[in-house]
Amino acid sequence: MLELKEVSFTIRKDGEEVPLVDCVSLRVPKGHFMAIVGPSGCGKTTLLKTIAGLNPESGGALFWDTRNLSEDGDFSPSEIGYVPQFSIAYDPLTVDESVEAATRLRVRSPNTEALDSRIDRVLEETGLTAISDRQVKVLSGGQKRRLGLAMELVSDPKILLCDEVTSGLDPRSEREIVRLLHDLSRKDGRIVLSVTHSLAHLELYDSILVLHEGCLAFHGPPEQLTHYFSVHDTEEVYPRLATQPSKRWQASWQKHSASYQKMLDHNRSRLIASGGLQIPAPDAPPLPVTPPAPESPQNPAAAKSAEPPAPPARTPSSDAPEPLHLPGFFSQFATLLSRRWRIFFRDRGQVFLQLAILLCFPILVTLFSDKASGNIRRFSDTRQTDVFVAIQEQQSVRADQAKVGSAVSGIIMFQVVLLSLMGSNNSAREIAGERPIYEKEKFGGLRPSAYLASKVVFLSCLVMMQSLWMAFFVNFFGTFRGDFIEHAGFLLLINASMTFICLAISALMRTAEQASLLSIYLVGFQLPLSGAVLALPEKIEAFTRPFISAYWAWSGSVEALQTQVHDAVKSVIDTGLSAQNACIYALAAHIGVALIAAWAGACRPQWD
């Protein structure tokens, strides 16, 4: 049984406490199908999230069987299923692949046969077997709702919370979903709570809960809804609510809650007796009672107040099934990584973009490589006696140094900036773009460590491919005038640094648009703040350089040049360094800090 006792949830707005859920008390037995209805903004979704544990209750307590959820911890991932308003499946995957991934992430299966059996059962239960090979992006609205339910049913939850799963559907699809939820509540004593704005198909519910401005205004059988509010049609309920303040409706309901609770118990006992409801350990059957007609809130003297009876004591069933166990870290990691690569290769736009970047960016660099391959004249070994000739020789050498040095420095920085752009493109939307799905999977038991590890491995593969290809391509068409291995290493480090910094931004931002915009700005400031093109004032350089990844990669690559070319670059601009180790340590520190920030963002709840 699920029981709420004076549960409240408040937020602080303009310095005042605003209750979104105000002292809601109710009891929901096992095998019960309840609708939560009310006008827009009345607190329906907020109440559902409070029950789920996504919103910490500001007051009161929640009980699940004999456990106090407010003190002893929330539901375990296998006990509860939560179906949000948004789609929780990836468009490139098929229905079968989506359910399989959800199963592998939430249930530890002893073998492949058990896994396949669970998947097939859930697909059949939700009516998706015939379309299991279709991609999510071609499904209708009703089919996507069924898929969302299927992905929650893989763990056999004892309580299923559905948030507006019928919104936007045609009348036929809406009735099919409500009928499906009704049938799911009749299996294994499962409680199904469905938030809906629609007042259609109420006869399929066991009870209707009406909220008004966060207050409980009614909780009783659907056939008593119009009787209680003294209206002729259910469509008149919402206008009726607006005629009185929420506190008046709440006070009126508190006087009649006991009578309507007895009626709900009576309906339940009849359902059990008829065989329409089978649960492992049914509650003691209540006595039948006919509720009196309630007084109107305008005339509150027609009935006596009554306290709701205490819930009966529950004894856990001895033959209850063992709780499901979550898969381990490596199992979740392997599932996530495999799914990420499958999504990547099925997204033709992303594959095309990556190939275009791989081909075009190195070509852009080689277009400017001719200037960097010029010869640098040396000073004559013999001492010139003619002053004019000596000055002319000195000017020629410096001219060559300036020409080649500026070209080499510019090409190195060009490579660094292009790889920074690649890093931004790799990860700016990687977490923020799938934040709703990730938060839902984390609620279902996904380990943030497994999730982040899968992202790091996937992105590392892209980083290695992009950086090494850039280094080899540019060296083949325009030889790098220095230690190629060291230069390739710095290209790898700058790409990794920007990739994981943008991954951290993606993990910390709420939307993909915010993450992309901030990542673009970050890359855009790399070039001017590095000092590679225009020398900054020393005071500003001392402050900005430690945070500019492009500076360390450019400076390290310059230090890897041949002596003569290195001197030519130094004659144009001073990197300010003489040790490559400092560059390596700085870039490694950037990567480390970025991964820590990404971990913090991945662990932090960011539900809308």
Tens digit of pLDDT for each residue in 15-58?
788 899 999 999 999 999 999 999 988 999 999 999 999 998 99
Residue 595 located in a structural domain: yes
In which band, very low, low, confident or very high, does the pLDDT at 525 lie, cut at 50, 70 and 90?
A: confident
The one-letter code for the residue type at 126 is: T
In which band, very low, low, confident or very high, does the pLDDT at 579 lie, cut at 50, 70 and 90?
A: confident
In which band, very low, low, confident or very high, does the pLDDT at 536 lie, cut at 50, 70 and 90?
A: low
**Separation CA 35–CA 255 (nearest Å):** 22
Q: Strand 207-212: give its sheet, edge to edge.
A: 80-83, 159-163, 191-195, 33-37, 207-212, 215-220
In which band, very low, low, confident or very high, does the pLDDT at 378 lie, cut at 50, 70 and 90?
A: low
- Do residues 154 and 106 lie in contact, with contact meaning Cβ atoms separated by under 8 Å? yes
In which band, very low, low, confident or very high, does the pLDDT at 65 lie, cut at 50, 70 and 90?
A: confident
Q: Stretch 343-366: mean pLDDT, rounded?
A: 91
pLDDT score, position 557: 84
How do 59-64 and 2-13 pair as beta strands?
antiparallel
Residue 362 located in a structural domain: yes
pLDDT score, position 387: 57
Of 66-70, 224-228, 328-332, 571-575, least confident by mean pLDDT is 571-575
Parent domain of 446: 348-371+406-603
**Separation CA 150–CA 148 (nearest Å):** 5
Residue 329 located in a structural domain: no
**And the tokens for 302?**
């027609």
Beta bridge partners of 59: 8
**Separation CA 550–CA 558 (nearest Å):** 12
pLDDT score, position 295: 47
**Separation CA 178–CA 184 (nearest Å):** 10
pLDDT score, position 183: 92
3-state secondary structure of 407: helix
Of 162-166, 251-255, 403-407, least confident by mean pLDDT is 403-407
Beta bridge partners of 36: 195, 209
- Do residues 566 and 558 lie in contact, with contact meaning Cβ atoms separated by under 8 Å? yes
Q: Stretch 191-207: mean pLDDT, rounded?
A: 92
Residue 256 located in a structural domain: no
% of the chain exceeding 90 in pLDDT = 53
**Separation CA 126–CA 128 (nearest Å):** 6
- Do residues 565 and 482 lie in contact, with contact meaning Cβ atoms separated by under 8 Å? yes
Q: Stretch 146-156: mean pLDDT, rounded?
A: 94
pLDDT score, position 315: 42
**Separation CA 143–CA 140 (nearest Å):** 5
Number of H helices, E strands in the chain: 22, 10
Of 158-172, 360-374, 403-417, 531-545, least confident by mean pLDDT is 531-545
**And the tokens for 57?**
């209750």
Residue 512 located in a structural domain: yes
In which band, very low, low, confident or very high, does the pLDDT at 280 lie, cut at 50, 70 and 90?
A: low
pLDDT score, position 564: 59
**Separation CA 203–CA 206 (nearest Å):** 8
Q: How far is CA 118 from the centre of its chain?
A: 25
pLDDT score, position 212: 94
3-state secondary structure of 182: helix
Residue 17 located in a structural domain: no
- Averaging pLDDT over each range in 71-85, 271-285, 346-360, which range is the top one? 346-360
pLDDT score, position 316: 42
pLDDT score, position 572: 62
More confident site: 537 or 70: 70
Of 3-7, 75-79, 113-117, least confident by mean pLDDT is 75-79
The secondary structure of 485-530, three-state, reads HHHHHHHHHHHHHHHHHHHHHHHHCCCHHHHHHHHHHHHHCHHHHH
Number of separate domains in the chain = 1
pLDDT score, position 567: 66
What value does the mean pLDDT of the chain take? 84
pLDDT score, position 93: 96
- Do residues 348 and 114 lie in contact, with contact meaning Cβ atoms separated by under 8 Å? no
In which band, very low, low, confident or very high, does the pLDDT at 386 lie, cut at 50, 70 and 90?
A: low
Of 486-495, 517-526, 577-586, least confident by mean pLDDT is 577-586
**And the tokens for 592?**
């480390």
Q: Stretch 171-193: mean pLDDT, rounded?
A: 91
**And the tokens for 132?**
């299991």
- Averaging pLDDT over each range in 54-68, 208-222, 477-491, which range is the top one? 208-222
Q: What is the DSSP string of 91-122?
A: TTSBHHHHHHHHHHHH---SSHHHHHHHHHHH
Residue 291 located in a structural domain: no
Beta bridge partners of 561: 482
* Tens digit of each residue's pLDDT (9 = 90 or more) over 85-100: 888 899 999 999 999 9
- Averaging pLDDT over each range in 318-332, 409-423, 426-440, which range is the top one? 426-440
pLDDT score, position 322: 59
Residue 223 located in a structural domain: no
**Separation CA 513–CA 212 (nearest Å):** 35
% of the chain exceeding 70 in pLDDT = 81
